[in-house]
Amino acid sequence: MPHRITPGSTVQLAEIPTRADSFHDDRKQAEQDFKELRDELIRLQNVLYAQNSQSLLIVLQAMDAGGKDGTIRKVFRGVNPQGVRVTSFKAPSKIELAHDFLWRIHKATPAKGMIAVFNRSHYEDVLITRVEKMISDDVCQARYQQINDFEKLLSDTGTRILKFYLHISPEEQKERFQDRLDVPEKNWKFNAGDLAKRKDWDKYMDAFQLALENCSTDTAPWHAIPADQKWYRNLAITRVIVETLKDMDPQYPPADDLHGIVLT
């Protein structure tokens, strides 16, 4: 998997491409491959749901306008909605802040047979909290280990974990922000607060690098996906999900003894 962050490796996001050029040069073919992979995802997700013994957690993180919503819409179009649950994590509520930072996350992890998709996640608590100095470096370092232990618990109890960092350039983010301003139907997506985060771009890149370095493990690997071009982003993510589901090898459960049943 070309975008997988090797556990224990040093991450330099400035050296990781945000565009597809190094990986794919045929958009038309990529879009066809994506549709075929999505059909396979739909099939495998249906079997996973029927088997009801394994689960899959998919984590999406990115800078603002990085494409999390679009990824969810495109990749999971056509799946059985009974078997996929999407959770978006906003700023924590007062009740959530009264608990440990993983409390609200654990409640949203997938039950057996389910795929859970996190639009933002527990990683917000080592990203924005670090950049805005809500926590100390020591607390952040402790949280990396707590996250790894949490994800290992999920893995040990039957949940596979895939984490995708959607890697866009500041130039692409600017274009997407401008599009939100120019297109009336997209105005609702624009948040002036996102511009403040944009000013801290380098600080966020440092925070993402540290999260990827400290929390890409064999049981819960990170993938840094070139995301400037949506057609490649969709292909790359769907390919990893399908390969993972194939490795999980879900099977339809055996039917009950149907001998002698007569419908009237």
Task: Evaluate whether 68 touches 60 at the Cβ level (below 8 Å).
Answer: yes
Q: What is the pLDDT of residue 154?
A: 98
What was the pLDDT predicted at 189? Answer: 85
Task: Give the pLDDT score at 162.
Answer: 98
pLDDT for the residue 257: 63
Which residue stretches of 183-229 are H helix? 193-199, 201-215
Number of H helices, E strands in the chain: 10, 5
Angle subtended by helix axes 230-248 and 27-51, to nearest 10: 30
The pLDDT value given to residue 209: 97
pLDDT along the chain (264 residues), means of 10: 93 95 92 98 98 98 96 97 96 95 97 98 97 96 98 98 98 94 89 84 96 97 97 98 98 78 77
Nearest to 246, CA basis, from 24, 54, 6: 54
Q: What is d(CA 154, CA 246) in angstroms, rounded to the nearest whole number?
A: 19
> Count of alpha carbons within 13 Å of 217, Cβ hemisphere only?
18
Across the chain, where does the E strand assignment appear? Answer: 55-62, 84-88, 115-119, 159-167, 222-226
pTM: 0.94
Question: At 217, phi and psi to the nearest 5?
Answer: -125, 170
Domains and CATH numbers, the chain: 13-248 (3.40.50.300)
Question: What is the length of the chain?
Answer: 264
How many other C-beta atoms can be found within 10 angstroms of the C-beta atom of residue 55?
23
120: closest CA among 75, 58, 167, 173? 58
CA–CA dist 111, 90 (Å, integer):
22
Q: For residue 63, give the nearest of 225, 183, 220, 235 by alpha carbon.
A: 225
Tell me the C-alpha distance between 204 and 4, whole Å: 20
Q: What is the pLDDT of residue 258?
A: 65
